[in-house]
Every structure is written in C-alpha cells, then in structure tokens.
Amino acid sequence: MLKQNRIIAQNGSASILIILVMVLLLCMGRAILPVLRTEKEISREFCDGVAAQYLAEAGIQRAIYELNKNILWAGIPYPGEELNNELCIGRYRVEAIPSSDVVWVRAIGSVNTAERIVSFAYVWPPKSNAYQYTLFSGDNLTIVDANSIQGITVGSRKQTQVGGNFIEVSSNLLDITIPVLNCSGYQLSPYRPPITAEINKGIGLSGVVYYYESAQELPWEIEKYKTLAGNGVIYSKNSIIINEGVKMPGRISLISERSIIVGKGAAINNALLLARQNIDIKENVVFSGIAIAGGTMSIGGGTSIKRNANAVNRIQTNYTYN
C-alpha cells in the first residue's frame, strides 16, 4: 500500500510539473506574440515607406513632364493620384509653387500610414538671348568647313571665320549676354558624374544634376570610344573633355566653369554645351543641340551640326530628400 501511495504521489507530482510547464509555455507564447506582431508591423511600415518614397519620386517626374509643357502647371492637389498594382495601393500629390525663375516642387508619396516627401527646384534657363543661336561665342568663332553648318544660326561678339573667310558681325551682337551659370545651385547636388570604371559597367546618368570639382583642377572626361547613356546635367568647376569617338545618345547638358573639348568623331545628341571660357569641337563630330561659349569657339572640318532647341528647354537643379 505504501509503495502504491508513493507511485500515486510521483504521478501527481509529474502531472503538476507538466501543468506548470504548459502554463509557463503559454505565458511565454503570450509574451512573444506582441514582439512578433511588432516586428511584422515594423517590416510592413518599412516596406510602405520605401514604396511611398518611390511614389514621391514618381510625383517629381510627373511634375517635370508637366512643367516642360506648361510652366503654369499647378500640381496635383489632395488626395492626389492613385497608383495601384499587385504590391501596394498608394498615392502621390504634387505642389508646384512659382518663385521668380524657379518653380518649387514638393511631392508627397503615401502608402497606408507611411509618407515620404521629395523637394525639387525646377529652374528655367538663365535669361540670355544667346540661346537664339545654334552656335554662339563671346569672342571669335571659327568654322573650318562651311558645309558642316548647313541651315543653322551662328553668332559671336567679335568676328566669325568660315572656311578662311571672315564674316562681318553687326554691332548689336555686342549686346548679347552670355548665360549666367547657377553655380551655387549646382554645387548643392549630392551626385557625382560616373567615372570610367562605372561607364565601362554600363552605368549612365539618371536624370539629375551631377557636380564635379577637382582640387588638382583635373578635367572631367570620358575616355575614347565610350558611351555615356541616360539624361542629366553635368556641371563641372573644371574643364570637360569628351574624347574621340565618344557617344552620348541621351539628353545631356554639359556646363563648365572652364572649357569644353569634344574629340573628333564624337556623336552627341540633343545636348547643351555651355562653357564660361572656350568650346573646341574637333573634326567629324555629329552634334545636335546648342553650344554657347563665353570665350572663343572653333568647329572642325566635316562636323555635322543640327539645331535642337529642346536641349535647353529646362536646366534642372538637384533633388533634396526629406
């Protein structure tokens, strides 16, 4: 009987122990559930924030598109434009506030409770009547081969030489102003133009302003026969060198506080070349756009130049993220 009582007592103790363990596990489970729920919510909020950021950037791109067509475009008011796909449902709204020659654009992307804001300064080109010319120089303009400039307008403050013959320039060209470079705005850009190693990997421009400065006054340049794809503005405190055979198929503005050199055989499409000093375009270049030099300009033989006013429709400053 005593042995039987011991067995019963042992079984009772084991049952109590099992019950205690089960209670402990239940308590731990209840304690872990809020943690798991919190991690799930944090993960969802992070994903919503990333999606909201992309929506805000989509709003900026929409603003650029609309302002290119109509500078009086007023934006997309609350509640905004909905974007709906398999991953998420979100909205973006855009505020466009004009101020002098700048339109301040503010895009807000929202997904569930997450919101992200991207600000953008949309800048008109500096006011200058030099833009009415395909080629304009503040000093002498020399064109080696007259056949290379069919159907375009040229001008300079001093004299223009075409094929060895000097062309008299009327005195009213002395009143033409060279565009003022918006140095302070461009220097705020956090983006740096791609280097040769990146260009070799196919990395191009992404539609923003790129700022370059070298303490050793080294130029920003592209090596021979490379291709720089994409759209954007490259602003350099130093010279810009586009070497032989380089291709630029996108919409690119090259702006230099020094000089711009375009190597022979280069192909540059839909571009603005704007240099505070000189522009030198070598032989057999294919160029579409507008080129303005504060100093001299020289155009090599066999070069084909086509005017494209869209190249200077807008000069844009950098994004700022909030």
- Our count of domains for the chain comes to 2
Domain end point (choices 92, 107, 123): 123
Cβ 246 vs Cβ 229: under 8 Å: no
Q: Is omega for the bond preceding 249 within 30 degrees of 0, making it cis?
A: no
pTM here?
0.62
303 and 203 assigned to the same domain: yes
Claim to verify: residue 164 and residue 296 sit in the same structural domain: yes
308/292 Cα distance (integer angstroms): 13
Query: Are 253 and 146 in the same domain?
Result: yes
Residue 112 lies in a domain: yes
Residues 296, 165 share a domain = yes
Inside any domain, residue 166: yes
CA–CA separation, 12 vs 212, rounded Å? 81
Are residue 119 and residue 137 in the same domain, yes or no? no
Q: What is the C-alpha to C-alpha distance for residues 101 and 180, in angstroms, rounded to an integer? A: 13
Give residues with Cβ within 8 angstroms of 77, minimum separation 6: 93
For residues 299 and 173, state if they share a domain. yes
Nearest CA to 249 out of 233, 264, 271 is that of 271
pLDDT digits (tens, 9 = 90+) for 185-228: 677 778 899 988 888 888 888 877 888 999 888 999 999 999 99
Residues 264 and 164 in one domain: yes
Residues 156, 251: one domain? yes
Same domain flag for 8 and 47 = yes
Q: Indicate if 111 and 157 belong to the same structural domain.
A: no
Residue 101 domain boundaries: 2-123
pLDDT in tens, 122-173: 875 555 678 888 898 888 888 887 667 766 788 888 878 877 666 665 545 6
Whether residue 321 lies inside any domain: the answer is no
CB within 8 A of 226, min separation 6: which ones? 196, 199, 200, 243, 246, 247
